[in-house]
Amino acid sequence: MADRIKVLLTEEEVDKRICEIADEVNKDYGMKPLHLICILKGGVFFTCELAKHLKMPVTMDFMAVSSYGAGTVSSGVVRIIKDLDEPIDGKDVLIVEDIIDTGRTLAYLIEVLKGRHPKSIHLCTLLNKPERRVKKQVHVDYTCFEIPDQFVVGFGLDYDQKYRNLPYIGVVEV
């Protein structure tokens, strides 16, 4: 049986908000070089769209970090599946994530990355679920959308590896 998906945020809403967030990042960083760390797999769509609108020199690297299995609920155990290819020592770093809910993954990741001595670390997310936050110390610098506690797919977010390619954000109706 196919899953039913209800549109939460249209493609146009997502595109418009990404441009607005890029403008904020451009204003904050000016022409200082910025190193984007894309959190795979979900963050790749957002990172690429965001990067297109950034005006400063941008470099990019990728990490795969997981606290989910095949289900819809975080296991609470964070694992680095793919680490960075390049050092971040002395760089202004912007972590780009698809969604932040409990904050466990990002709290762990930020501590790991701080140990690698970047000049600065900031956090940018497409979607934020603050009501689910367990790790209150996770500060999100740039948020496209705050959403309610629903399981969402599209624009890189998946349900059991499906629906990442949807150009909008939808809610899986079970």
Q: Which residue has the tokens 């689910």?
A: 132
Q: What are phi and psi of 82, to 5 degrees?
A: -135, 125
CA dist list (Å): 33 to 27, 54, 93, 102, 163 = 13, 10, 9, 30, 33
One-letter amino acid of 162: K
The single residue of 61, 89, 92, 101 carrying the catalytic annotation is 101
- 23 annotated active-site: no
Catalytic residue set: 101
